[in-house]
Amino acid sequence: MTTTIRGVIFDKDGTLFDFHASWGAWAGGLIEELASGDAGRMARLAGALRYDLQRRRFAPDSPAIAGSPDEVVALLVEHLPGMTSPALRAHINASAAAVAMVPAVPLAPLLDRLRADGVRLGVATNDAEAPARAHLGDLAGRFDFIAGHDSGYGPKPEPGMLTAFARACRLDPQSVLMVGDSLYDLRAGRAAGMRTAGVLTGPAARDDLAPLADAVLADIGELPGLLGWWASGPG
């Protein structure tokens, strides 16, 4: 039995973009800014996010990796007297939208190759939609569907964004591949009835992803080979 994938929906951070290269330094700067130079408060904010201030890296189990901005805000605001959740959310979203993202691979050639093969493309991120579109920049036009946690479909690991992509593109979920770097991504893909592929450009290791992934790739640059193998192989 062969498998033809007609749609691919990507996670954003850790999948389209290298997670640590994109977000490591930014998070340290944000923590320092919010703490206003208070070392104790910096330590508490970093602890809430499972972030190593010295190494400028998130721990693999950090809630900032796969969680939504609202979850991050809830963890931080209790350590910031006088700051309201809406104000903190707006500040984080504005700061995050300006981050210089580091692509996991050259994205335009990869996306153009997939589109030339007739594959429909989407993005499902637990980031907010507006900063996600800002991060994608000119690449946004190459996607048929872009959704964030605030787009009305719910966050991952719920399957809402994924099923909305399939519905918008008139695709059978079984012909769609969900690609992500976290168990949230893979659980959402499984719940949507899609194939799943894990990538190692986020904090998770191969052994973390393998139980829920039909394939684990070094990065999304390996996708064309995987799709070709599935289409011609035993499925």
Query: Using one digit for the tens of pLDDT, what is the confidence trace for 12-35?
Result: 999 999 998 899 889 999 999 999
Residue 1 has pLDDT above 70, yes or no: no
> Per the structure block, which two tokens stand in for 71?
């979850």
102 contacts 22 by C-beta, under 8 angstroms = yes
Check whether residue 195 and residue 107 sit in a common domain: yes
Check whether residue 112 and residue 215 sit in a common domain: yes
Check whether residue 222 and residue 207 sit in a common domain: yes
pLDDT, mean over the chain? 93
With cut-offs at 50, 70 and 90, classify the pLDDT of residue 2.
Answer: low
Look up the domain containing 41 and give its range: 21-97
CA dihedral sign of residues 38, 39, 44, 45: positive
Check whether residue 196 and residue 109 sit in a common domain: yes
> Per the structure block, which two tokens stand in for 181?
């770097």
Residue recorded with tokens 């997670």: 19
d(CA 227, CA 7): 11
Does residue 217 fall inside a structural domain? yes
pTM over 0.85: yes
Q: What is the mean pLDDT of residues 113-132?
A: 95
Residue 98 has pLDDT above 90, yes or no: no
Q: Which residues share a beta bridge with 217?
A: 199
d(CA 122, CA 166): 9
d(CA 17, CA 227): 20
Q: How many structural domains does the chain have?
A: 2
d(CA 122, CA 17): 15
Check whether residue 130 and residue 156 sit in a common domain: yes
Check whether residue 117 and residue 190 sit in a common domain: yes
Check whether residue 73 and residue 130 sit in a common domain: no
> Per the structure block, which two tokens stand in for 221?
């640059």
Sort 65 into a burial class: Cβ within 10 Å, 0-12 / 13-18 / 19+: buried
Backbone angles phi, psi at 50, to 5 degrees: 55, 55
d(CA 232, CA 158): 31
The amino acid sitting at 190 is R
128 contacts 149 by C-beta, under 8 angstroms = yes
Q: Which residues contact 219 (CB under 8 A, 6 or more apart)?
A: 104, 105, 199, 200, 201
Q: Which stretches within 36-68 are classed as H helix? A: 39-49, 63-66
Does residue 1 fall inside a structural domain? no
Closest CA relative to residue 80, chosen from 69, 95, 91: 91
Q: What is the mean pLDDT of residues 28-53?
A: 94
Q: Does 157 sit behind a cis peptide bond, omega within 30 degrees of 0 on the bond before it?
A: yes
Check whether residue 123 and residue 79 sit in a common domain: no
pLDDT digits (tens, 9 = 90+) for 65-93: 877 778 899 999 999 999 999 999 999 88
Check whether residue 83 and residue 158 sit in a common domain: no
